[in-house]
Amino acid sequence: MHAAIDVIIRRNHIHHSTMGIWCDWEAQGTRITQNLFHDNQRPAFAKHLAGGMPSQDLFVEVSHGPTLIDNNILLSDVSLRFATQGVAMVHNLICGALTKVGDGTGDRYTPYHMPHRTEVMGMMTFLHGDDRFYNNIFVQKHPSDDFHIDNDSDGHPEVENRLAGTWCFDEYPTYDEWIVNFDMDEEIPGMKKLEPFHFSHLPVWAAGNVYFDGAKPWKKETDNLVDADSDVRVDLEETADGWYLDTNVYEHLAGFTADMVDSDVLGNAFEPDQRFENPDGTAIVFDRDYFGARRALGILPGPFTSAEEAGEKLYGSNLN
């Protein structure tokens, strides 16, 4: 879907698709929430044809945001292809890798719009970054030798990350590291001095995330839980009456809780200067989970309010 301005994609079950959801250009105000994704990869028996697209649960391409991804279950080997900026991921269960971080855009001038309108406000290329990660659970569910090499039918290699977590943002600055470069208190800033920072990556924010089974955090993240030793499982089962998640991740949180997140915490996407908010401009409070149950005290990372709720039926079955 191109230019999914203020589009909400909610409560879908997307599986055995090679592309999942692809939001291409101007995913400004787009919200992808309360969806189940799994097995969205090219089957092992299928050839990777020359010029063919890679596979993933979500692909957000050349957008300045704000693009909001919250309360989803992402189980394929690639969760999000990140050829974009201005993304917020909040309260997701993420079992695949983040790929194309800082890549896949080139010098592509892409429109950004007046908030909640279709009029073009400007055109700009990408610095990458301007991304937020709050209260997610990352699990290294799929095998990883860090980078996956897939030769297409002409023998050209497609190389991409398969290691889960936010580590691929290690070289991106925090907001404080970024803003200090701009001489905000100077009446006449030295533009030549500032030039390198005008073309460098935008900042990243992260807090309240959990990393299991070798999933690696952003090296500048401090408020998190990293557990590489526990035997964590995340499996999806289809029974006669529906799809269920079989997971023990909530048994290994060790009392770790997170803070409530809302639109004010997420702030504004950089290029359009638009808040991560509802289409009518009101704030979003992430006090509802995958099922719509209310979060209260003792907020858990991930898309569920409790371990018990994680065991409830996710969707009806396709079995006869």
First to last CA, the chain: 32
Helix (H, G, I), strand (E, B) or coil at 112: strand
- State the Cα–Cα distance between residues 205 and 220, nearest whole angstrom: 9
Q: What is the edge-to-edge ordering of all strands in the sheet holding 78-83?
A: 21-24, 58-61, 78-83, 97-99
- Domains of the chain: which residue ranges? 8-176+205-315
Q: What's residue 159's pLDDT? A: 78
**pTM higher than 0.75:** yes
Output the six-digit token pair for 111: 């429109």
| pLDDT given for residue 320 in this prediction | 44
Q: Is 151 a residue whose pLDDT tops 90? A: no
**Residue 158: pLDDT above 80?**
no
The answer to whether residue 277 scores a pLDDT higher than 90 is yes
pLDDT higher than 80, residue 232? yes
Read off the pLDDT of residues 162-210 as tens digits, 9 standing for 90 and up.
899 999 999 999 999 999 998 778 777 777 888 888 889 999 999 999 9
Q: Categorize the per-residue pLDDT at 146 as very low, low, confident or very high, splitting at 50, 70 and 90.
A: low
Fold of 8-176+205-315: Pectate Lyase C-like (2.160.20)
* In the chain, % of residues over pLDDT 90: 78
Q: How far apart, in whole angstroms, are the C-alpha atoms of residue 303 and residue 267?
A: 21
Burial 159-174 (b: 16+ CB within 10 A, else e): ebbbbbbbbbbeebbb
pLDDT confidence of residue 161: 86
Question: How confident is the model over 64-121, as pLDDT tens digits?
Answer: 999 999 999 999 999 999 999 999 999 999 999 999 999 989 889 999 999 999 999 9
